[in-house]
Amino acid sequence: MSTILDFVRETPTINEKIEKKEIKCFEVPRTKYFAKEEILYLGFMLNLKESEVQAKINEMKLGRKTIEKVYACRLDCDPWGGPRLAIPSLLENEVDLTQLEPLGNAVLRVYLHFNGVKNVLSVALHEYDEYREVTIVKMKGVRGIVRYIVYF
């Protein structure tokens, strides 16, 4: 029996050069499906273990929406027809962060720095009455946005 769920997939890795530094990235599926390394971002922002995030994603097989990827798109091309967005790997790079003051509904906001390049990603967790929203904004290199809705 496979330990990788139907909605969680292995995706290609890419070496992207940002500010003369090489950063290992992974491709992010546009909707519905999750790259295996996205689970780490969601677990970090939601304060959950990797197995708990995968279990919540697996509930989609039963028709429940607990964690839904709304979209992942690049800002330099057609969001549905161009190449996929690639975001840095948390495992294969040197990672540092700067925590920011929460704004509005945000309960957690951070800038992530990779291999000495500052502010590559901005990641935020927003809380609303019926759901939470996690957004990942890639601000350097090929820019893009990934947005998730989390129902609890």
From the list 15, 45, 23, the residue with the least C-alpha distance to 116 is: 23
How would residue 29 be classed by pLDDT, with cut points 50, 70 and 90?
very high
What's the one-letter identity of residue 120? V
Strand order in the sheet with 106-114: 67-74, 144-150, 132-138, 117-127, 106-114, 95-100
Would you report the helix, strand and coil content of the chain in percent, each value rounded to 5? Answer: 15, 45, 40
From the list 2, 145, 151, the residue with the least C-alpha distance to 84 is: 145
Give the global pTM: 0.92
Sketch the domain layout of the chain as residue ranges: 8-150
Contacts of 44 (CB under 8 A, 6+ apart): 90, 123
Q: For position 150, what pLDDT does the model report?
A: 95
Region 45-67: mean pLDDT is: 89
From the list 81, 89, 79, the residue with the least C-alpha distance to 27 is: 89
